[in-house]
A and B are shown apart, each in its own frame.
Chain A
């Protein structure tokens, strides 16, 4: 595929490759999915997504109703309304914006409206910090949204396309977040293969929910949505169905990634992706862009005869209990590296991992809290994590569960 152009075109698939930032790639992915109603509100580090979508609508490249919405709470509110009407929707946010719409996160998931939203992960303030860590979306794990984490700009684009197909599956119908590290992915420029519109149209049919306000009007059979359900009415049953849909999403995520791989030639590991985990004594579980550097350090350790591996967690919700248990069954110790903390010294992902491994014979588990507020996680930091894990394996017990790696004393 040698070419002198700054844009390269693959002759066989007709897909272009361009050097894009994560934000640009995400916006492009959203555009390809033909959302019909889009709400944009700026917040660092995703404002470029809002700007790109507005430019696409203004140029006619994207045929959508664009709300220059006045707040993130209204951003999601307007999209829930549009989704209930029967339209496909998109927005993007981070941190404080996500927290501001938190009430509506529960509304979208309980209301079974499959909104898709990009999150450029950003720290929770104060102290005031606009840089990348994963505290925002990880802390919303209980709001009932599918959460998929992308490692790089290409994966961000691809996962947004996949997210629509997963979320809109008739037996799922749950909203989905596609999260990627603020700055470390959103602002990084890399070559990104752009799928063609025709290919995405073939992969993703139009949104066609079984029930919607539009259908209700057209069919002349008025439907009532989200009515009041007192305790002895059906609330508990609706929640059970919602929970079951969340479980079904596990299979759907794997299927859609495989189908995407067949059509576009790229797959991203489904729920989680092991790297040199086979025969590893110590495995480091990572989320997002940290995975890239972790693999490089694992290679270094392996070359040195130290058996370590990396397990990339792609789906945080639904949490892939069974897949995780299988992946790390033979490891002596599993370390969970994450850019957030929940309360006290441990993070959210650690809690879910520990719960998933609690009833099986599996590795010891430790937690590495790192990179908060955009603090760079270096190769040395990752070496330290692997060293801690290997020492734990040697001793056969965990002496200290949580390590804050990179914090200054």
Chain B
């Protein structure tokens, strides 16, 4: 008769290297999330609890008999990353472990769609959590369905380009960084693996701060966005260079752009690299450009 209290509490794997995100996961070749998580775990260190939302990362690296994380960790549900993590953090604090970093790792759908309520509330309460959002602009794991952060004009499996709806996703990308910033949280940032120095500095800043911290990582997805797996870093850099992705951070609502291109590249090169945009007409591409121009005009006005 097994009387163990938590029968599914498994030991973490014996490391083949001394990293905390151990080799042997089954993420897609060229996956931006995998690249990002290597550095996330390296910066956060051992005094961390990571929590997984259902998605690519957990599906490919938190399987019984193929578990890839060497810190205490748990799987969560889809809806509640922020509140589940807040609970872990409060429980640890009550037990004298308040200095441990509690880091939920959640995708863009879990964060910007179904989990937005919990996210906003945890931010409002300033719960002590380091929330990391892996933004690959779709529900990638379940088949690249559209999410709130899918960009305008992108074809996803629930915003496909067809004769009656030639455009793909009609609405603009929801700006999660600005949304969280508007809660005046101690620290929020955007980052992408193509700019590693900026990326690591921001993760350090988030790790060392207290209260509700939010880091949104732009993680290109070769499978979902339809580009060659060798181009992940280039796609990441081009997103920043064209202004499609803003590298910024905020403290208590004050925004600073951390990399402002002297001259933004036209979006064409970025869009041309990815199959999810191939249906766009030149007019529609011009629309996308106008959208990016508008967005940056907003930042300039704010003096960021």
Contact = CB atoms under 8 A, between A and B. Distances in A.
B142 interface: no
Contacts of B83: 67, 69-70, 73-74, 77-78, 81
Contact of A67 (B10, B59, B72, B125): B125
Nearest to B68: A224
Contacts of B121: 69-71, 74
Contacts, number: 205
B268 interface: no
B87 A85 contact: yes
Contacts of B136: none
Contact of A226 (B65, B75, B82, B89): B75
Contacts of B94: 36-37, 64-65, 82, 85, 87
Given A171-B3, A224-B74, A238 B8 contact: yes
Interface string B81-99: 0111111111111110100
Given A73-B80, A223-B12, A225-B73, A241 B91 contact: no
Interface string A48-86: 000000000000000011011111011001111111111
A84 B79 contact: no
Contact of B72 (A103, A216, A241): A216
Nearest to B5: A210
B5 A209 contact: yes
Nearest to A234: B64
Given A223-B10, A224-B9, A225-B8, A85 B91 contact: yes
Contacts of B118: 70-71, 73-74, 77
Interface string A108-121: 00011000000000
A112 B7 contact: yes
A213 interface: yes
Given A78-B90, A82-B87, A238-B8, A227 B79 contact: no
Interface string B1-32: 11111111111100000000000000000000
Given A77-B118, A211-B5, A233-B63, A228 B58 contact: yes
B12 A227 contact: no
A226 B95 CA distance: 21
B interface majority secondary structure:
mixed
B77 A224 contact: no
Given A73-B80, A74-B83, A85-B95, A223 B62 contact: no
Interface in B91-126: 91-95, 97, 100, 117-118, 120-121, 124-125
Contacts of B58: 228
Contacts of A217: 47, 49, 72, 92, 97, 100
A81 B67 contact: no
Interface string A228-244: 11100110011001001
Contact of A227 (B3, B62, B86): B62
12 contacts: A71-B121, A74-B118, A82-B94, A84-B74, A85-B92, A89-B87, A103-B77, A104-B80, A171-B3, A222-B72, A223-B12, A227-B67
Nearest 4 Cβ contacts at the A-B interface: A81-B87, A85-B91, A78-B87, A82-B91
Interface of A: 36-37, 39, 64-65, 67-71, 73-74, 77-87, 89, 103-104, 107, 111-112, 170-171, 173, 209-214, 216-218, 221-230, 233-234, 237-238, 241, 244
